[in-house]
């Protein structure tokens, strides 16, 4: 398709043709037998993709932010204390949402590009009792990945409900919901799940459902109230239709195709592919002299990268990269947003997309007067991919 720009931002991402076809299918009744089976299977496949065999899945029309709202409105009662392991923009947002429903919120912050370690979390949990601990798996504003597999079990052992905002990680970065003691895992359709924007996907553990059932106060958000949605999810999963709010029929059909594609690849294979592509991208960026925002490789996310503009360049680099055929995203973290840009590499992204992107960045850098030897980024990525 001439004139098309490769979309390499942290969501929405490029979707497969099979997924996009579902968006153009004639919209059917939300209680037609066909759709009931489709929705039911989506709920089952969500458990598999989240690696949450024992959890209650929810698929509701809304964005990732609505998923965060659904967590806070159902699980927080005024006076509950919540701790946010904060790695940037979306940790701040989670804190705002939790306090909107009456939580007393503390933030466990690290420097930009870093994440609090297990000792800092243990200290914080010793200092105060919390009802809920939330963390962002991959922070879209910094490209920092939190070690959820270490931190969530620590919070759980301290008696807290654990919430993971997986919006920029789920189905790309390894996340083992049940095994890692994650009570609520949430994401949105338009990132590594690979479906156009408009769906929130969540899983709730038995402990999270119990906290909801034990509420004294009604949920202050009518649309988000689990009392309204649980019967709907249960009905579709047992293959009967139900109505609370009209499901986003075409998005659910598209989700069905995408979840099937994800499971056909295999979760372990998919996690490994994202690590490999991210490794290749970072090797290429480093060879061009670009410095990444995450403090170390260990904290660098497999689903997106954040890179400082090199000396002598600025945010005009992003439109220059777009002129070279690839769309990337500008900075998001309030304190440093003028200093860096972001590249998404998740979902159906492949080796050639990584190489195209590095090539476009290199040409754009050259157009801004920054010199690095031509082909150095692509070569380093090729060496990485071919194991040299
Ligand atoms: C994108 C994103 C969100 C918000 O999702 P929307 O669909 O834009 O509302 C929340 N958390 C993280 C980590 C994200 O990357």
Around ligand 1, the residues with Cβ closer than 6 Å are: 11, 63-65, 90, 136, 140, 165, 167-168, 188
pLDDT by residue (tens digit) across 297-339?
999 999 999 999 999 999 999 999 999 999 999 999 999 999 9
Instruction: Verify that 50 and 138 share a domain, yes or no.
Output: yes
Rounded Cα gap, residues 134 and 75, in angstroms: 12
Q: What's the structural domain count of the chain?
A: 2
Q: Which of 264, 282, 310 is the last residue of a domain?
A: 264
Tell me the average pLDDT across 100-104.
97
Q: Are residues 237 and 98 in the same domain?
A: yes
Atom of ligand 1 nearest to the CA of 65: 9
Domain CATH code at residue 63: 3.40.640.10
Tens of pLDDT, residues 207-264: 999 999 999 999 999 999 999 999 999 999 999 999 999 999 999 999 999 999 999 9
Residue 247 forms part of a structural domain: yes
Same structural domain, 318 and 250: no
Inter-residue contact 349 to 315 (CB < 8 Å): no
User: Mind listing the pLDDT tens digit for each residue in 36-69?
Assistant: 999 999 999 999 999 999 999 999 999 999 999 9
Residue 175 pLDDT class (50, 70, 90 cuts): very high
Average pLDDT over the chain reads: 97
1 assigned to some structural domain: no
At residue 1, the pLDDT reads 58
Does residue 190 register a pLDDT over 70?
yes
| Range of the structural domain that residue 91 is part of | 17-264
Instruction: Specify the pLDDT at position 372.
Output: 81
Write down the residue that tokens 């994650």 correspond to: 182
42 part of a folded domain: yes
Per-residue confidence (pLDDT) for residue 4, from 0 to 100 = 85
C-alpha distances in angstroms, 230 versus 13, 29, 33?
A: 30, 20, 20
Of 244, 264, 284, the last residue of a domain is: 264
DSSP letter assigned to residue 298? G
Residue 343 clears pLDDT 70, i.e. is over it? yes
Closest CA to 273 of 351, 175, 342, 352: 351
Alpha carbon separation from 151 to 38, 51, 137, 161, 250 (Å, rounded):
35, 18, 11, 12, 37
Question: Hey, which of 95, 168, 170 would you mutate to test ligand 1's pocket, going by the most ligand atoms within 8 Å of its Cβ?
Answer: 168
User: Of 200, 234, 264, which residue is a domain's last?
Assistant: 264
């Amino acid at each position: 398709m001439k004139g098309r720009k490769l979309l390499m931002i942290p969501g929405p991402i490029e979707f497969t043709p099979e997924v996009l076809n579902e968006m153009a299918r004639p919209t059917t009744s939300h209680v037609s037998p066909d759709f009931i089976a489709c929705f039911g299977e989506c709920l089952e496949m969500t458990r598999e993709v989240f690696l949450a065999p024992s959890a209650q899945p929810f698929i509701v029309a809304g964005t990732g932010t609505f998923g965060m709202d659904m967590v806070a409105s159902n699980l927080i009662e005024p006076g509950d204390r919540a701790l946010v392991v904060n790695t940037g923009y979306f940790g701040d947002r989670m804190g705002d949402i939790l306090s909107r429903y009456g939580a007393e919120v503390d933030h466990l912050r690290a420097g930009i590009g870093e994440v609090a370690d297990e000792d800092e979390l243990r200290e914080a949990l010793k200092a105060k009792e919390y009802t809920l601990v939330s963390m962002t798996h991959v922070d879209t504003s910094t490209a920092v990945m939190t070690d959820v597999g270490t931190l969530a079990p620590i919070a759980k052992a301290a008696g807290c409900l654990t919430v993971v905002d997986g919006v920029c990680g789920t189905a790309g970065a390894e996340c083992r919901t049940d095994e890692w003691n994650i009570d609520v895992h949430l994401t949105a359709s338009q990132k590594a799940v690979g479906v156009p924007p408009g769906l929130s996907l969540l899983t709730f553990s038995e402990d999270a459902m119990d906290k909801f059932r034990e509420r004294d106060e009604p949920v202050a958000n009518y649309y988000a109230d689990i009392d309204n949605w649980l019967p709907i999810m249960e009905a579709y999963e047992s293959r009967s239709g139900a109505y609370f709010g009209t499901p986003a029929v075409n998005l659910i059909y598209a989700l069905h195709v995408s979840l099937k594609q994800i499971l056909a690849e295999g979760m372990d294979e998919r996690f490994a592919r994202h690590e490999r592509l991210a490794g290749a991208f970072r090797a290429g960026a480093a060879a061009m002299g670009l410095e990444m925002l995450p403090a170390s490789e260990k904290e660098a996310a497999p689903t997106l990268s954040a890179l400082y503009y090199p000396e002598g360049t600025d945010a005009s680099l992003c439109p220059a990269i777009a002129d070279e055929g690839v769309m990337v995203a500008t900075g998001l973290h309030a304190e440093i947003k003028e200093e860096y840009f972001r590249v998404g590499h998740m979902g159906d992204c492949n080796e050639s997309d990584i190489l195209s992107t590095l090539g476009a960045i290199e040409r754009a850098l050259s157009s801004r007067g920054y010199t690095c030897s031509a082909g150095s980024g692509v070569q380093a990525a090729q060496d990485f991919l071919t194991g040299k």
